[in-house]
Amino acid sequence: MEKLIGFPNREAWRTYSGTSVVMITAVDALGRADICTVGAWSLVNGVPPLYGIAMCTKSAGANYFKRHTTTCIEQTGEFVINVPDESLTKAWGICGTVSLTTQPDADKFALAGLTRTPAAKVGAPLIGECPVNIECRVHSKHVLPSHDWIVGEPLAIHWAQDVIEGRRRLEWNRAPKLV
Ligand SMILES: Cc1cc2nc3c(=O)[nH]c(=O)nc-3n(C[C@H](O)[C@H](O)[C@H](O)COP(=O)(O)O)c2cc1C
């Protein structure tokens, strides 16, 4: 097999599996809700179940700046992982390009046509249109150069009945072509 040797800074993205995207909701200290699309996430521990999300914390080139959602999570210690289905592609695109860091007055729920729904255990709202919502409390974090790997302990998980029965496809069934 013939192979090329690449340089990590440029080529590492080719190894990014980007299997699915989720939308993270969190509120800041003033109670203002934000939504951030995240592709770098995973279930990272079995017993107890723990989830990891990679949240940008520093300026490091055009697309890398501290997400307002990172600030929200720092301020409250809570977040929700909202898993979209295939109908929400436009919404996660909006939530992945509009930032409260640069547009503090934006209402991303309104812009993306999404509905705030009260959570059971955390202050952050669920996204009503997402068929799965995982309410998390911050368990720990691993500080990396541009991102924090934030580990969340799930406190409550909401499942739409048709997802459990296999009648609705989640976004994680269809790897978006990010690379
Ligand atoms: C497909 C996609 C995946 C993304 N994945 C991440 C990610 O894993 N971590 C991150 O910090 N930002 C990620 N982003 C960028 C944020 O969603 C984006 O900067 C957003 O506007 C931040 O909003 P906020 O500052 O209001 O929190 C992604 C964007 C898109 C479109």
| 36-91 confidence digits (pLDDT tens) | 999 999 999 999 999 999 999 999 887 899 999 999 999 999 999 999 998 999 99
What pLDDT is recorded for position 175? 45
Query: What element of type H or E holds 69?
Result: helix 68-76
For the chain, helix, strand, coil in percent to 5 are: 20, 35, 45
Pocket probe mutation, ligand 1, options 67, 143, 150, 177, max atoms within 8 Å of Cβ: 67
Q: Which domain holds residue 82?
A: 34-151+164-173
- In sequence order, the β-bridge partners of residue 83 are 132
Of the candidates 74, 32, 33, the one whose C-alpha atom is nearest the C-alpha of residue 53 is 74
Confidence band of 177 (pLDDT split at 50, 70, 90): very low
Q: Is the CB of 179 under 6 A from ligand 1?
A: no
What pLDDT is recorded for position 171? 73
Q: Is the CB of 100 under 6 A from ligand 1?
A: yes
Other beta carbons within 10 Å of 17: 11
- In sequence order, the β-bridge partners of residue 114 are none
User: Is residue 17 one of the residues assigned to a domain?
Assistant: no
Looking from the CA of residue 67, the nearest atom of ligand 1 is 25
User: Is residue 3 one of the residues assigned to a domain?
Assistant: no
User: Is residue 21 one of the residues assigned to a domain?
Assistant: no
- In sequence order, the β-bridge partners of residue 152 are 51, 138
